[in-house]
Homo-oligomer: A and B are copies of this chain.
């Protein structure tokens, strides 16, 4: 069974507009990145939206959830802006129980030399193949459960909210 990838935008896919000096969305770089990674996975790719995750509202998140529920694939990767990735993950976790869903993104646009995008894409594709059903965030080489992750905006990295309790 193939893996479904939903593209929603995020820093990952931002381009530099040389006419006005602003960052914007054109097309996703996902296919170029998969070629670069010499991926031989069976993938179905759908662009749901191309937006900054700070601009996403509840309806956008419902669109993503609906898309996850409707497709036949049980393994789903979502590229997403980092700022509200945990919110989307939490909403998906409440609605979807029987699929493995991994969200990932990038701190720096793929087209910048210093992007983490390709690393994150590789890691997210591996996590989605191996993890049991659930909703996860794959960033910084780590995997986080949807209900226990936040973006530390001052450090620019993802972290767990609750420390694991020792028993």
Contacts and interface: CB of A to CB of B under 8 A. Distances in A.
A114 B36 contact: yes
Contact of A157 (B38, B125, B142): B38
A6 interface: no
A31 interface: no
A40 interface: yes
A118 interface: yes
A34 B119 CA distance: 9
A17 to B, nearest CB: 9
Nearest to A39: B141
A143 B122 contact: no
Interface string A128-146: 0111000000111111000
